[in-house]
Every structure is written in structure tokens, then in C-alpha cells.
Structure 1
């Protein structure tokens, strides 16, 4: 696809305050038009079949996905099923279309049949499009048409980016903060680069195995110079369902980091967004289990080892952090509570109190095979409560949530209290919004200054 088309698609913005109400109004208009032109002459019992069928389909989908299959701990959400029901209502309404004799009497010419078919297809297409746009707006997901097609951010394989090639000498960090010792060269690029790379899991023998998807990596402008400084590292996680690209396509990560780097002489953390799911429909609970594979080992051993061997960054773990949102925020808490020596700094956005598959009983039985000790060994609150004095000395993080996220807002004070009792230093922050990217993208942008001071970029 040409650059011009991609740029045009990026200008088609999909997130507006009026998007949800506008889509609802559009669907109501389509339903009214179909009723006027297609179904108003039908017996009332037959007309009633459309809304009843729509409601039944919405409920059936909810039962099948959120109650029986349960791929997501929190469920898909009532908003999605409401739009499934509305869409199904219009589709059934179109299919009813009156009795056969009346149809033949009104539609006797080839051209009229084509017009009728086009009207039916247009009604269904408009309804499906409105439903998708409304659900997207509710979750504040894809910001543009380009993001829907995976074209929101340009990427290149790590090995193909010449400016990211290893320098003969590994960068060394001097005393003090980087902003005071680093001098940006005149030919430093204005923006950072986004690259992709496969970060394989290590030995998975004896388990069902864990096969992570490719990581997405942000390299700041300072990294892309021959005078490369020893930059800190942020390992970032997404939610479930999700993929590593979400932080860039949905969360505006590159724009936020480029803005931070522009204000600090090209300096910013090297951000490695890794996969801790293997699939949008799996939740391996960020743990080493027979069911999900060795995800904890992957995040706390394999990923750091790969970063140190493939990227020229600060080797000192004191300048490393882990962060994530929702399921990934819980995973960040798990990683720092299990391995504070690997990640002594964390950002947990809209995190849960415990790893979960929907309920503690189901998590214990399905996720950990009934092994309560294994569950406790991967539960942040259990680990924090049982920690010996001094285990979390020097560990610090930010716990954040949306003000409208009632389910997760109550988690923050609980986790903060447990973390501080265990010896961590914790900051709590709130942002306007719910459990959506509209909160998480703003939260990361806001927390970069704190993170930069914590990781030694600024004083």
C-alpha cells in the first residue's frame, strides 16, 4: 500500500465523543426505514420476531462466550452483546421482508429486484459498520482506519535497521543522570524507531509449551546514533485479548516516547513490548504451569537475557522496569513480586488483585491444576504478605486506574497497602475514563516523567 494511502487512512479518525450516540441513531434510522419499506404491513406477531430474535441471539452469544467458553476473565462486556442484539434485530427484520405473494407483486422487474437486494445489503452493511464503530469507540480501541488495518505505526525487523546495529563498544554509563552526561550529536534523528523481533521462550519441556508472538521494540533517537548511551529498559505488557502491537496501534506509544525524547535530548527508555499470552484467547496467568507453559520464566529470565544479548542497553537492573495494563498490569505485579531483583520498578495500570480466570475456584482448578501452593506463589498479594523483611527494599512503582473503572478502582488501595507493608514505595494515580485505551495511553504518557527520574534519565 502506498505511503499516500496510508497517510490518508491515518487521517480517518475513529474516536470521537459523539461516535457512540451517532452510531445508535444511525441504526435506529436504518431499522425505521426497513420497517417502513419492508415489514410494516406484516402481522404484529411476525414483526415482533425481529426484536425477539435479536435479543435471543445477543443472550445466546453472551452465554456461549462469557459463560461457557470464558476466554476472557472479565467477559466481553454487556455493550458488545447489546450491539450484537441490535445488529441481529436489523438483519432478521431485513430477512422477514413480507410474504412471498406481496413481494412478487411489488417486485416484478429485474431492476426492482436489484434495487431491493441493494437496499437489503446496504441496511445490513450500515448496521454492522455502526455496531463496529460504536464498540470501538466504547473501548477507545482503534484510533484510525490505518490502525484497524495494522498500518498505524511503521515497523521494520530489528536486523534490518542499520542504525540499530551493534556498535564495537558496549555503551557505558557514567556517574549521575544521563541528561547531564549525554550530548546529542548533530546528526541524531528527530524520532525513534519501532522494530520487531522474535524473542523465543527457553526450555519448555515438560509443559504444554509457550510460543510468544513477536515483540515490538521502541528505540529512542539517542539509541540510533554512533555515540549510543546506556539507556534504561522498560518491558511492557498488554491486556487480554491483545497483542504487543496494541501499545503502538492503540496506545500511541511511539508518539508519547518521541515527545519525551524530544524534551530530553533524544533520551528515553528502550521499550520492549513482549507477549505473555501466546494468543489473544489464552490466559496463561503469567505463571509457570502445565496448562500455559513457562510464562514466568520467559518474562523474568528469557526476555532479560535476550535484551542484554541483542540490544546495547544499561545492564544494571536498577535501571529496568516492567509495566502493563489490565491482565498485563497484574502480570507486572506478579513479575516484580516474584523477581524484584530483575524488575525493581513497575507501572501497573488497571491491574487485578490476583491472577484470574474469572473466579478463584476456576483459576485454582483450571489454571493451577488444584495446586494452591502454586497459586500462592504467583499471587502478588500472597507473595507480598509472606515476604521477609528487606526483600522489596528499593522497589518502587505506580498503581493507576480510570476514575470510571469501578471494578478495578478498588484494587489500587488494596495492592498499594500490601506493597507498602512489604517495603515498596508506591504512588497511586487516577485518570478520567474507564477500562479503556483512553486511560492507559494517557497514563503512560503522564508517568514517563516519574519513570525517567526513577531510571536515571533525569534528575
Structure 2
């Protein structure tokens, strides 16, 4: 009985369903009790003071989230409410402690962590970071990612000529010649990598997450390993190698993959990662066999890295990225990302880069954004920052400079669930585009000749 119960608990949703609602109802009832317990003349005065103290908590949180440039769907108002209530609950402890009975003190103390949990659940329903209890537990306890082994295990499998049925994930420490302080990164090796000694020179996909991230997010939250494993199973074990990189160096350090005051992230991705992969895992170093895929900030990075470095990358997948590296307005972005240097901003703005570069050869891209199936105006709830407009603009600019791309929409929100589904849509095309062994060519979806696209998803437009 214990194992089935543990499994059911692990599968509980933290994004929707009854768990977030139940926790918030419990916290609200407890707060109401605390308020009722102090509802005398003097108590109301203390409650008013506590409410005033709670307000700056919400204001500070809103300013902080704006300052680090979190992009995507606007935060729900209940997030600011619960953050403010954290401050209110904390101040009530100090304002009422001396005169309160022990059970009132206990209720006041318990209200604080409950409000914190409610604020955390509000963030989670906003970004979908922890879809289920199991995801949250594995992330918070830094448990192993799916299919994880180590370099010793990989070597042992090679020596024993053992070809696994599924791919393996290896944590790696990549030397930072760039000087960028990064965290542990991960490499996915498909079953075909173990088919020979030395291993085949496979193509490689660089995967980049959102602004608030860890390098394991695509593995834990984005379901990338299962997606690639399923693809490999359908192609006799063949799939690209994938490197899950650290583009920010810290959870809340939104670098937008540029070089600047927040670190030389671009140099790390272009000067450290590719040489490491070729030297340690024998992947192909040819540009035609390298691609970049990312979601949100990572989608912006995918386009930027490819158009800035067509000598390194030949294909990109931009999932709900922005028009260019940004942390808000243009002025704010130049100040925070480039230390006020407008020329540096222009050097990383993909539209400017494409126009300055001129004609590209052999560069292709896939944009995927949340939107309506018929490609009409974007839903302001699912796509408030206009990633659909950004995708069409970048695709059109690229078309004038020789970059073939398509803009795909699927119903969804700006969250990890959408990112996971969009990566599954694009992977067959990307793997084929990069020349993955035994993977047949996949035509890029075209709205005029194939409205459903090869994966059965609606397509907005294609530019050649």
C-alpha cells in the first residue's frame, strides 16, 4: 500500500487541480482566524499596522522580478497578494506576541510558512516550473536527472560493447576558458553513440532554458530526455547528442546569453562548449551538424547565437523567444545587460546582426509560439509579450538575408509544458536538418501547402 500511495502523491499536480487550491484555502482560513483572534479595538490597530508593513514586501518583490527581467506571461495578482500577506503575518507575530495565548501565537507562526508556500505555488502556476510533486522533490533535493550515469559508467558501457535501449545523461564540468562562472552541465548520449569505438561523429544540439533556470531544467521540467529517447526508439537508437548548458551561472542571473556585466555567457557557449563536446565525446565539429534550441530566454539565445555565429551553428529552434536580448525596455536592457553600451547592444541584437551580416548560406530555423490554431492575433493571456510578433519579424528579416524559417503555433501558455511540447514538435525536423544518421529528411511545415504540418500542428507562415 505504501508504494502506490507514494506514487499517487508524487504524481499530484502543483500547477492545477486541488492541491494549490487546498493549500491556499487553508492559509486563508488560518489568517482569518488570526485576524478574528485579535479583533478588538487595539487589535484592529495592530492589524492595520501589519497590513501596512506587508505592502512593501509585495512592492519589493514586484520590483525585484522586474529588475531581473523575467519575460513571458505577466505574474498573477495573487502572487503579490500572498507576498504581501507574508509580511503581514510576520509583523503580526511581533505586534501581538506579548498579549496572545499560546494557541494564538502558534496560529500566527504557522501562518507565515503557509503564506510563503502559497506565494511559491502562485509562482509555480505562473511558470509551470514544478508540474508535479515528484518534480519539485527531485529538483529541491538535487536528485539524479532521468537516465543519469557518470563518466565511469559510460566508459564501462563502451568497454563491454553494451548498447543501451535508452540514452544516458552525463553530468559534466566544462572548462571555462571564457571566464564565465557556470554550474554543472549535462550531456545526453543516444544509444547509437555506443554502437562503435570510437563513437560516431554525431550532430549536437545545444539546449538553453529560461531566464530563471538551472541547467537541469530541460531534463526535469521540460521532459527533454523522454522526448529524445522516444525519438531515438523510433529511429533505431539514433538521435543527436544534446548538451544542456548553463547560460546564466545562477538561478536569477538573466544574461540573455550575451557578454556583459552579468558575465561572458556568449563566450562560454561558443568558446567552451563546442570544443569540449568534440574533445570528450567525439561529436562532429562541423557547423552543419550543430544546432541550438531554447525556450523563452533560451529561444532568444538560439536565434542570436546562430545568426551571430553561422560558422558554428546551422539551425535553431526558438520556442517563445523575444525579438532580442532584453530585460525590459531597450534603455533598461542596455543598462543592465551591457553596462550602458548601446554599441554592444547592437552587436547582440539579432535583427541588427542579420542586416549587417548580409546573405547567409545554409542557415535554417523553427519558431514556435503559443497562439490560436488559425494563426490569428495572439491571445494576450497566453502570449502577452508578443512572441508571435517577434517570431514573424525575425523570420521575415532572416528571409531577406537568406535564412529559411517557419513560424509555428500551438495552443498553450508561456510555460514549461508548452516548451516541452514545442520541442517534441521541432525535434524530428531539427535532427534531420543536422544530418542525424538513419533519420530521413523532414520537410519544413508550410502553411500554404500543408496547413497541419508534418507533426499535425498548425502553422502560421514560412519564409524562404
TM-score range, shorter chain: 0.7 to 0.9
Matching of residue 240 in structure 1 with residue 228 in structure 2: no
Secondary structure in 1 matching 2:348? coil
Pick aligned residue for 1:142 from 123, 130, 137: 130
Whole-angstrom distance in 2 between the partners of 1:368 and 1:422: 26
Q: Deviations over 1:108-144 (max 9, x none)?
A: xxxxx3x444433333333322332232232110233
Provide the aligned C-alpha RMSD in A.
3.2
Whole-angstrom distance in 1 between the partners of 2:220 and 2:229: 15
Q: Which residue in the other structure is 2:182 paired with?
A: 212
Task: Specify whether residues 136 and 201 from structure 1 end up closer, same or farther in structure 2 by C-alpha distance, changes over 3 A only.
Answer: same
Q: Which residue in the other structure is 2:393 paired with?
A: 414
Taking structure 1 as the reference length, the TM-score comes to 0.80
| Consecutive unaligned residues in structure 2, runs of 5 or more | 372-381, 441-464
Q: Shift in Å at residue 351 of structure 1?
A: 1.2
1:340-379 matched pairs, under 5 angstroms: 340-379=310-349
Q: Which residue in the other structure is 1:72 paired with?
A: 69
Taking structure 2 as the reference length, the TM-score comes to 0.80
1:251-262 matched pairs, under 5 angstroms: 251-262=222-233
Contact 2:367–2:408 under 8 Å retained in 1: yes
Q: Shift in Å at residue 442 of structure 1?
A: 1.4
Q: Which residue in the other structure is 2:461 paired with?
A: none
Pick aligned residue for 1:401 from 331, 354, 369: 369
Larger Rg: 1
Task: Specify whether residues 218 and 194 from structure 1 end up closer, same or farther in structure 2 by C-alpha distance, changes over 3 A only.
Answer: same
Matching of residue 81 in structure 1 with residue 80 in structure 2: yes
Matching of residue 39 in structure 1 with residue 38 in structure 2: yes
Which has the larger displacement, 70-79 or 133-142?
70-79
Whole-angstrom distance in 1 between the partners of 2:115 and 2:105: 15
Whole-angstrom distance in 2 between the partners of 1:409 and 1:164: 47
Q: Shift in Å at residue 449 of structure 1?
A: 1.7
Whole-angstrom distance in 2 between the partners of 1:163 and 1:298: 26
Secondary structure in 2 matching 1:278? coil
Q: Which residue in the other structure is 1:267 paired with?
A: 238
Q: Shift in Å at residue 337 of structure 1?
A: 0.7
Q: Deviations over 1:367-411 (max 9, x none)?
A: 33444333222110001122323xx22211111222312203321
Count of aligned pairs between the two proteins = 417
Q: Deviations over 1:261-319 (max 9, x none)?
A: 22221112111011122223334442344x34543333223211111111122343212
1:4-403 matched pairs, under 5 angstroms: 10-11=10-11, 13-36=13-36, 38-43=37-42, 44-63=44-63, 65-66=64-65, 70-72=67-69, 74=71, 77=75, 79=77, 80-93=79-92, 95-97=94-96, 100=99, 103=100, 107=101, 113=102, 115-143=103-131, 144=134, 145-151=137-143, 153-154=145-146, 158-163=150-155, 188-202=163-177, 204=178, 209-226=179-196, 228-289=199-260, 291-389=261-359, 392-403=360-371
Contact 1:34–1:94 under 8 Å retained in 2: no
Pick aligned residue for 2:419 from 432, 437, 440: 440
